[in-house]
Amino acid sequence: MIDKKLRIVPLGGLGEVGKNMMVYEYGENILLVDAGLMFPENDMLGVDYIIPDFQYLRDKTQWVRGIVITHGHEDHTGAIQHVLELINAPIYATPLTRGLVENKLSRGGMLSKAQLVTVQAGDTVQIGPFSVEFFHVCHSIPDGVGLGIHTPAGLVIHSGDYKFDHTPVDNWPTDYARLAELSEKGVLALLADSTNSDRPGWTPSERVIDPAFQEVFRKAKGRIIVASFASLISRMQQVGNAAIQHRRKMAFVGASMVENAKIARKLGYLDLPEDLVISLEQALKLPHHEVVLMSTGTQGEPSSIMGRLSTGTNRQFDIIPGDTVILSSHPIPGNEESVYRTVNRLFRRGATVIYENIAPVHVSGHASQEEMKLLLHLVRPKYFIPIHGELRHLYQHANIARQVGMDDEHIAVIENGQVIEFDQGQMRLGKRVPGGYIFVEGSSVGDIGPSVVREREALARDGFVLVSLSLDRNDYSLLEEPDIVTRGFTFPRNGDDLVSSLGKMVKDTLQVDPFASQEELEQAIKTFLHNKTKRRPMVFVTISRV
């Protein structure tokens, strides 16, 4: 007998619950919402990116009726090729989101495998037993949607990433009317974005950036370089508008910035006159006061354009005194050090650098506390499940729900892999399933586990020492001086002494016990080095008996 409860399962997303993927399951039918990736934290050494652990879906792949992508950001789209390796189901997305997903899939050679379906905000699409209404939401990328998911067990609202911007750059506010309509039908559960639940008040409108840009464009005597996220199409529009007013030409720099601008212009999400946009090569030939460059690299990664500009290692152009750099972005948590290091270096090269702390050149794309209250009042759900945030954000979002009158019994703060079940209009916690994440590194998916990362930590802390010994096969005497190689470990200032005394210690050990095993020698060397240096490098001994 098929169990006809509605099940909801958040998957993946590092500390952030349901950020990368949500599973909606009714009987033998699954609707997936989003398929994103996360970037590793500072201590996840060597990892390229992280995707949800799909184990829960592995024996249910044939139940998946569709994949809905709410908007075009990496943390909602970036794992799509990994999902398609497992699951064959249509992907539903609005035009811009579809364009960005197509671009990603075609770069990975996966476009032919994908079955893409364009939807418009306002559409209702039947996906298995789920009738999904797409409603427009404002976010830091255009064409984002939230979902009204009609299921046999009741209506669920999935907010997606959203803010309530009354004056968005594309003049397309969040669809309050549709939310109110859905509310009229009676909402079983609301799942809503918690990213900014610890920010009081109301997230400023994207429009507040315009006066700050005006001020910078008015004062700048040389080139202006605006660094932003390649997905921030509205920011491109704002820079373009300022460029027109201040008689500058605009060039995009960085592959993803160029590609996304092209897709957004083609699909009509970015309205820039033909004669405004020029190539970087053309821009570099113009007088400095006639140019604005719009570039990627806001996170200070050494290999990014801003990173290279800050160290004077960029290929096509350099920072010159008189340049004004605007970082129209916010450091992703964990990147603060590298972002500010880049800012300092840009100053050192003679640029004037304007960043968030100096002037309002960036705003968040996520709702703050008052917007969260408004959403709760608009939707009036029976149950509330905060998602898209770390546990601390979910608890704070739950507090906000309490403030607007919900009680603890109707709020569930859950972690990835925690199944929520709805049966006869009642919510309860189900079992926990694997809901974590797996590391992707080079061409390897999921092979790198915590033990390897711990080995890397040890190597990163103290390096290693490799001692190769050649012994006489008959009398076990040492035939040559021990060969000592180190990486990531240095001998102290009077280092030659320590190398030779390490060599001597090994020789002495072998004299006393010619049969000393590899493990015994390694242990003796570890102890010796720790006594001498207070450090604990990995130690390897190879012995060949010749």
Which residues are bridge partners to 64 per DSSP? 30
Work out whether strand 437-441 and strand 49-52 pair parallel, antiparallel, or are unpaired. Answer: antiparallel
From 204, 360, 430, 463, residue interacting with a second copy (rule: CB under 8 A):
463
Name residues contacting a second copy, limited to 508-537 (CB under 8 A): 532-535
Does the footprint of a second copy cover residue 166 (CB under 8 A)? no
208 is a contact residue toward a second copy (CB under 8 A): no
Give the one residue of 181, 271, 318, 457 binding a second copy; rule: CB under 8 A.
Answer: 457
> Residue 353, interface with a second copy (CB under 8 A)?
yes
Cβ atoms of 194 and 386 within 8 Å: the answer is yes
Least separation, in Å, of the C-beta of 261 and a second copy? Answer: 29
193 is catalytic: yes
Q: For a second copy, give the closer residue by CB, 181 or 457.
A: 457
What Cα–Cα distance (Å) separates residue 489 from each residue in 48, 109, 162, 485?
Answer: 25, 43, 49, 10
Q: According to CB under 8 A, which one of 441, 509, 523, 528 is a site residue for a second copy?
A: 441
Q: What is the rounded distance in angstroms from the CA atom of residue 490 to the CA atom of residue 68?
A: 53
The C-alpha atoms of residue 227 and residue 306 are separated, in whole angstroms, by 8
Number of residues near a second copy (by CB under 8 A): 73
CA 531 to chain centre: 43
Q: Any contact of residue 202 with a second copy (CB under 8 A)?
A: no
| CB closer to a second copy out of 108 and 449 | 449
Distance CA 545, CA 208 (A): 75
* CB 149 within 8 Å of CB 155: yes
Q: Does 449 interact with a second copy (rule: CB under 8 A)?
A: yes
Among 3, 41, 181, 281, binds a second copy (CB under 8 A): 41
Instruction: For the CB of residue 329, give the shortest distance to a second copy in the complex, in Å.
Output: 15
Choose, by CB under 8 A, the member of 219, 492, 513, 520 that binds a second copy.
Answer: 492
Q: Find all residues with CB under 8 Å of 131, minimum gap 6, and list them.
A: 124, 125, 149, 150
Among 466, 476, 503, 507, binds a second copy (CB under 8 A): 466
Q: How far is the CB of 139 from a second copy (least distance, A)?
A: 21
Q: Minimal distance in Å, beta carbon 42 to a second copy?
A: 5
Out of 82, 150, 158, 366, pick the active-site residue. 366
Buried b (16+ CB within 10 A) or exposed e, 326-360: bbbbbbeeebeebbeebbebbeebebbbbbbeeee
Beta bridge partners of 217: none
Q: Strand, helix or coil at 74?
A: helix
Active site residue 397: no
Contact 504, 528 (CB under 8 A): no
| Options 146-154, 351-359, 426-434, 500-508: segment touching a second copy (CB under 8 A) | 351-359
Give min distance, CB of 249 to a second copy, in A.
Answer: 28
Q: Shortest Cβ distance from residue 393 to a second copy (Å)? A: 9
The DSSP secondary-structure symbol of 425 reads T
456 is an interface residue for a second copy by CB under 8 A? yes
Active site positions, annotated: 193, 366
